[in-house]
Structure 1
Amino acid sequence: MSVLSSFAEALSTGAVEVVDLTSPLSSDTPVIALPEQFAQTATFQLEELSRYDDRGPAWYWNNFRTGEHTGTHFDAPNHWVTGRDGDDVASVPPRRFIAPAVVLDFSAEAAADPDFLLEVEHVRAWEAEHGPLPDGGWLLFQTGWDARSASQQDFLNADETGPHTPGLSPACAQWLAEESPVIGLGVETVGTDAGGAHSFDPPFPCHAALMGSGKYGLTQLQNLHRLPATGALVVAAPLPIVSGSGSPLRVVALVERG
């Protein structure tokens, strides 16, 4: 039996489970809120064209409007000024859309401190237990933040000082971008950076370092708790928007069971 035939059989028998890591897109999907002086991304909106009526008697369809970085989405290198000469989302090689992934679970730490920051030492300790990060794969940072995704207020968790959500320290972001073998970072929060990253030195280090190194981001993931620490294969294929900086996408993980 060929490799692909074996894989198809494993899917049909449940030996390989498909786990959806994507947040549903609707008008209630949380979006990032920038300071008032900056342009704001659009929430997801549907515009009905016809629904089995005089506008189209046999068909239902819609226009939709949203931002490239709404809901579960992909950050391409040109999303940030440090990667301005890098790939747009349509230029990312398709082979990068299917890659192994590891899950670093720091849900307990994020529950105790919403401003929790992942440090290089945390990753090194994880590697000592589970093995090295996958070459050409994803580091998925589990914080339990997807449990907040039904509420814009709870998801952004902002007060007068700004949002409070977990993320990576500047040193960890730089290490992940420049020294680790992964192609990118996946998170459950609204963006790859911590909520307080606007005040970091440098500011927004995940965006600056990852995009500047030609790596990628995945955001607003769900169901990371259903994945093993190692061994999952992630499929994350954005829309090929020419000159686009990112795209909403459907992310699934393939996990061996049994």
Structure 2
Amino acid sequence: MSVLASFASALADGSVEVIDLTNRLSADTPTLRLPEPFANLIDFSLEEVSAYNEPGPFWKHHNIHTGEHIGTHLDAPVHWVSGRDGHDVASIPPARLVGPAVVIDVCDQVAKDPDFLMDVSHIEAWEADHGRLPANGWLLMRTGWDRFADDQDASLNVDEHGSHTPGITAEAAHWLATQRPISGFGVETVGIDAGRGAELDPPFAAHYHLLGHDKYGLTSLQNLALLPATGAVIVVAPLPIVGGTGSPARALALVEPS
């Protein structure tokens, strides 16, 4: 039996399980809010065109209205000034969107400090136990933030000092971008930078370093608790928007049931 035939058989008999890592997309899905004077994207909404009625008697369909970076979405290199000459969403090589997924769990640290930043030392400690980050892999940072998937206020966690959500240090962002052959970095928060990422050097260092080195971001992930630290495969499926800087995406993980 060929590799693909074996894989199809494993899907059919449940030897391989498909886990949805995607937050549901609606007008209530938590989204990033930039402070003035910066402009924000529009939220997701549906506009009814017909619903088995005079405009369309046998069908129902909608127009969708949304920003590129809404809900679970992919960040392409051209999203950031450091990657402005890189790939748009439509030109990302498909093989970069499928690969091994590894999960680093920092829930305990985030429970104590919502501004927690994962540093190089945390990743190296994980590698000491699990091996080096894999080529063409996706590093997924589990923080427990997916529990706020339906709560805009809790998801952004804003007070008079700004938003307080976890992320990575500037040093970790540069290290991942230059020292490990990953394809992407995924988070449960609304953006790949921490809520106070503007205070880093450079500002929003995860965007700056990763997108500037042809790595991709993936946000608002769900169900990372169901994934093993290693051994899963991720499939990221954004819309191939020509010129697009990002796209809402379906993210699926393939795992062997324990």
**TM-score, normalised by the number of residues in structure 2:** 0.99
Partner of 2:189: 189
Partners in 1 of 2:96 and 2:180 — Cα distance? Answer: 16
The residue type paired with residue 64 of structure 1 is I
- Contact 1:31 1:41 (8 Å CA) reproduced: no
Asked if 1:128 is matched to 2:128, the reply is yes
Instruction: Give secondary structure in 1 for the equivalent of 2:111.
Output: helix
User: For residue 176 of structure 1, what is the aligned residue in structure 2?
Assistant: 176
Tell me, yes or no, if the aligned pair for 1:186 and 1:217 is still in contact at 8 Å: yes
Name the aligned partner's letter for residue 82 of structure 1.
Answer: S
Matching residue of 1:247: 247
Q: State the identity %.
A: 59
Unaligned runs of 5+ in 1: none
Counterpart-to-counterpart distance in 1, 2:199 and 2:98: 34
Partner of 1:96: 96
Is 2:215 the counterpart of 1:215? Answer: yes
Q: Which amino acid letter does the alignment assign opposite residue 40 of structure 1?
A: N
Partner amino acid for 2:151?
Answer: S
Deviation of 1:184 after TM superposition, in Å, equals 1.3
Question: Once the 2 structures are TM-superposed, how far is the Cα of residue 244 of structure 1 from its aligned partner?
Answer: 0.6
Deviation at 1:231, TM superposition (A): 0.4
Q: What residue identity is the alignment partner of 1:48?
A: E
**How far has the Cα of 1:20 moved from its partner?**
0.1
Q: Does 1:6 align with 2:39?
A: no
CA distance in 2, matches of 1:201, 1:132: 26
8 Å CA contact 1:81, 1:208 repeated in 2:
yes
How far apart are 1:153 and its partner, in Å? 0.3
Aligned residue identity for 1:132: R
Q: Offset of 1:2 from its aligned partner?
A: 1.3
1:29 aligns to 2:43 (yes or no):
no
1:165 paired residue number: 165
Let me know the Cα RMSD of the aligned residues. Answer: 0.7
> Can you list the C-alpha shifts for 1:84-128, whole angstroms capped at 9, x where unaligned?
011111110111111111000011111111001101000000001
* Corresponding residue of 2:151: 151
CA distance in 2, matches of 1:235, 1:9: 18
Whole-Å separation in 1 of the counterparts to 2:211 and 2:133: 19
- Output one character per residue of 1:187-219: Cα deviation in whole Å (capped at 9) or x when no partner: 000000001111112110000001111110000
Which residue identity lines up with residue 196 of structure 1 in the other structure? R
* Paired residue type of 2:50: S
Deviation of the 1:227 alpha carbon: 0.2
State the Cα distance separating 1:69 from its structure 2 match.
0.3
Q: Write the distance in 2 (CA, Å) between the matches of 1:167 and 1:118.
A: 6
Q: How many pairs align?
A: 258
Residue of structure 2 in register with 1:62 after alignment: 62
Structure 2 unaligned blocks of 5 or more:
none
Quote the offset at 1:38 in angstroms: 1.2
- The DSSP-based 3-state class of the residue aligned with 2:181 is coil
Alignment of structure 1 residues 77-88 onto 2, 5 Å? 77-88=77-88
Deviation at 1:52, TM superposition (A): 0.8
Instruction: Give 1:149 shift.
Output: 1.5
**Which amino acid in 1 is paired with 2:19?**
V
Structure 1 residue 241: Cα displacement: 0.5
Corresponding residue number in structure 2 for 1:43: 43
Superposition TM-score, scaled by structure 1 size: 0.99
Partner of 1:257: 257
Which one-letter code corresponds to 2:117 in the other structure?
L
**Aligned partners of 1:18, 1:80: CA distance in 2, in Å?**
32
Q: Distance in 1 between matches of 2:2 and 2:196?
A: 50
The CA deviation string for residues 209-237 of structure 1, in whole angstroms up to 9 with x for no partner, is 01111110000000000000000000002
Partner of 1:71: 71
AA aligned to 2:213 is S
